[in-house]
Structure 1
Amino acid sequence: MQWQAAFPTRIYLTGFMGCGKSTIGPLLARRLGYTFLDLDALIVRQAGRSIPEIFAEGGEAAFRALERDALRRTAALDAYVIATGGGALVSDDNLAWALRNGRVVYLQVSADELARRLAPEAAGRPLLQDRHRRPLQGAALRRRIAAMLARREPWYRRAHHVVATDGLSVEETVEAVLHALRTYRASRNERR
């Protein structure tokens, strides 16, 4: 395919945990003829520890430092779709870097839908646990997600593209992202 000449070299998927980055990313990469990379999986491989272990041993700050380094290493990649962690681009420094080094797509999902998706996974997600490392449930889980989403939304919304995914199937979400990227490609071609 000639996608690579028409589309950005690196596409960064961002959004809250559970928004579908790791599900949409491989499908989008396949459609574009790109390679998929999950930034969290890269961090786990390089650290030799799971994300909950990294959080338990060094806290969120230690994880964010590893995440920042892993993000910077993606600059050497060509024709990649990269799923970032939910907090990876929630800093001016990381977001500005990603905006300069690729196209950033925000997969937007409501707090209610995120709570539904994440309820079965809360035990494995350190940020969705109470101070005793017990998974949040029900209304407490929804409140935590809504609060975190409200804090992160200003960064997410600065992405090149915002794709609202509530009510969309996985394939419809992939198509919506492709549509956003085609719009970018068309506007880029018009400027030439």
Structure 2
Amino acid sequence: MGTQTVVIAGHRAAGKTRLLPLVSRLLGRTGLDLDAELERRHGRPLRTWVAESPATFRAAERELLGLLPPASVVAVGGGFLSHHPEALQEHFTLVVPVSFDTYRERLMADTKRPRLRPDVSLEEELHAIFHEREALHARVPTIALADFLRGCLVQESA
């Protein structure tokens, strides 16, 4: 892992932001939530940005990842892994698992997150996005969160 940036990735509502401070502390590195940093730097709420101009949002998130200091821990948004797989090649990418049922339950209850496909029902959107991204995530080299944590525990006990 050395000076590589550790990227915490996965589906929307998987728990990436919640895990960020834990993984940062475990590694003794600075942690940053990419979505929060995008809002701060651009002064634009993600909910409206994603709805009004998804292409400029995607370009900004990819650019910002490249500007962050090396050896940090970064939680990226739910679409990053599927939209920018090539941007993750030089990074150590942890994927946070979430079942479809948990994903659905969390997003049905969260009215603050932007809709990605407002032209279909929320149920149809969630099903389509989850399964499309699952296929795309499978193509990106990642480390499962459970394997990463097991590795950290083995190193600490050695």
Scaled to the shorter chain, the TM-score interval is 0.7 to 0.9
By percentage of residues, which structure has more helix? Answer: 1
Tell me how far apart the structure 2 counterparts of residues 29 and 96 of structure 1 sit (CA, whole Å): 24
Tell me how far apart the structure 2 counterparts of residues 103 and 181 of structure 1 sit (CA, whole Å): 14
Q: CA deviation at 1:36?
A: 0.7
Correspondence 1:161 to 2:128: no
Structure index of larger Rg: 1
Letter in 1 for 2:144: V
Correspondence 1:105 to 2:94: yes
CA contact (8 A) 1:8 1:103 kept: no
Q: CA deviation at 1:7?
A: 4.7
CA contact (8 A) 2:62 2:87 kept: no
Q: CA deviation at 1:128?
A: 5.4
Correspondence 1:78 to 2:49: no
* Residue of structure 2 aligned with 1:117, choices 106, 130, 152: 106
Tell me how far apart the structure 2 counterparts of residues 181 and 8 of structure 1 sit (CA, whole Å): 16
| TM, length-normalised to structure 1 | 0.70
Q: What residue is the counterpart of 2:59 in the other structure?
A: 65
Tell me how far apart the structure 2 counterparts of residues 95 and 128 of structure 1 sit (CA, whole Å): 19
SS in 1 for 2:89: helix
CA contact (8 A) 2:48 2:114 kept: no
Point out where structure 1 has 5 or more consecutive residues left out of the alignment. Answer: 1-5, 164-172, 186-192
How has the CA–CA distance of structure 1 residues 161 and 43 changed in structure 2, closer, same or farther, with 3 Å as cutoff? same
Give the length in aligned residue pairs.
154
How has the CA–CA distance of structure 1 residues 142 and 105 changed in structure 2, closer, same or farther, with 3 Å as cutoff? farther
- Give identity over the alignment, percent: 29
Tell me how far apart the structure 1 counterparts of residues 152 and 135 of structure 2 sit (CA, whole Å): 21
Provide runs of 4+ in structure 1 moved above 6 Å. Answer: none
Q: CA deviation at 1:48?
A: 0.4
Q: CA deviation at 1:129?
A: 6.5
Q: CA deviation at 1:60?
A: 1.2
| TM, length-normalised to structure 2 | 0.83
How has the CA–CA distance of structure 1 residues 107 and 159 changed in structure 2, closer, same or farther, with 3 Å as cutoff? farther
- How well do the aligned residues superpose, as a CA RMSD in angstroms? 2.5
Q: CA deviation at 1:182?
A: 7.2
